[in-house]
């Protein structure tokens, strides 16, 4: 199997006030790449969404070497790793016109039953994604411990943050995070994130975080943990 590729020019909607690609926009691009490639591999919405099965992200890891800026032309690359029972690893790269890698990462995806919101067995539903072996694979995401925080705030999930899966889209978590940082203009070099449960429309979630010189830890909690991320600078 080959690496999926698509050229993309960074648009005004993708960048922040500093003309840098927003983290949420970066993840949107990679999410769309995942969907497009999965469809090319023979699993369009008729095989999943229309049958009541949702693709969701459980964990992610990214290394950012240089954040793309407004009007940059980049190549988005993605390919699947070896399936791990109910988990679908996927790898990503963002490459500029000079063939320099600007960012690389990995995510763990799974299928969830839309009715009971439980993980579905992919083999039972015929969803088998073949592995693509490359020299560019990086480590897969790993779980990490909850940390002590210094700040806290409450947030109500708005209508505009929810997607077709019926919950707050995974990219929006990073918009919330950036809105609460004292120095959102800083570009992180590493991102480690875990999605543990969904947040839905009008649900109240508690945000807590600590922001230091070289790192940020941020988490979201409702009746149970929802999301946590640590970013290194």
Q: Are residues 107 and 170 in the same domain?
A: no
pLDDT at 70 (0 to 100) = 98
Give the structural domain span for 203.
Answer: 151-232
pLDDT at 123 (0 to 100) = 82
Using the predicted structure, report yes or no on whether residue 25 has a pLDDT greater than 90: yes
State the average pLDDT over residues 47-76.
96
pLDDT at 80 (0 to 100) = 96
Using the predicted structure, report yes or no on whether residue 68 has a pLDDT greater than 80: yes
Q: Are residues 83 and 185 in the same domain?
A: no
Q: Are residues 76 and 189 in the same domain?
A: no
pLDDT at 1 (0 to 100) = 62
pLDDT at 98 (0 to 100) = 96
Mean pLDDT over each residue of the chain, to the nearest integer: 95
State the average pLDDT over residues 7-15.
98
As a whole number of angstroms, the distance between CA 230 and CA 69 comes to: 23
Q: Are residues 11 and 107 in the same domain?
A: yes
Q: Are residues 17 and 111 in the same domain?
A: yes
Helix 23-40 to helix 172-179 angle (10° resolution) is 170
Q: Are residues 166 and 102 in the same domain?
A: no
pLDDT at 125 (0 to 100) = 82
pLDDT at 79 (0 to 100) = 97
pLDDT at 117 (0 to 100) = 94
**What percent of the chain shows pLDDT beyond 70?**
100
Q: Are residues 99 and 17 in the same domain?
A: yes
Q: Are residues 17 and 54 in the same domain?
A: yes
Looking up residue 195, the CATH number of its domain turns out to be 3.10.129.10
Q: Rounded to two decimals, what is the model's pTM?
A: 0.93
**What are the tens digits of pLDDT across the range 120-144?**
988 888 888 989 999 999 999 999 9
């Amino acid at each position: 199997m080959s690496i999926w590729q698509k050229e993309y020019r960074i648009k005004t909607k993708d960048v922040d006030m500093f003309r840098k690609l927003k983290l949420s926009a970066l993840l949107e691009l990679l999410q769309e790449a995942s969907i497009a490639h999965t469809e090319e591999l023979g699993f369009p919405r008729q095989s999943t969404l229309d049958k009541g099965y949702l693709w969701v992200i459980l964990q992610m890891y990214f290394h950012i070497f240089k954040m793309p800026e407004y009007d940059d032309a980049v190549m988005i690359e993605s390919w699947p790793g070896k399936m791990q029972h109910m988990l679908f690893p996927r790898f990503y790269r963002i490459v500029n016109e000079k063939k320099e890698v600007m960012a690389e990462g990995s995510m763990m995806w799974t299928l969830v039953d839309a009715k009971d919101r439980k993980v579905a067995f992919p083999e039972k539903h015929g969803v088998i994604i073949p592995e693509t072996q490359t020299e560019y694979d990086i480590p897969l995401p790993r779980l990490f411990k909850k940390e002590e925080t210094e700040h806290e705030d409450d947030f109500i999930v708005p209508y505009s943050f929810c997607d077709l899966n019926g919950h707050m889209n995974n990219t929006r978590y990073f918009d919330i995070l950036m809105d609460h940082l004292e120095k959102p203009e800083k570009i992180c070099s590493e991102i480690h994130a875990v999605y543990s449960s969904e947040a839905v429309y009008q649900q109240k979630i508690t945000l807590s975080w600590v922001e230091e010189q070289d790192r940020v830890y941020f988490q979201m909690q409702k009746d149970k943990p929802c999301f946590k991320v640590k970013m290194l600078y």
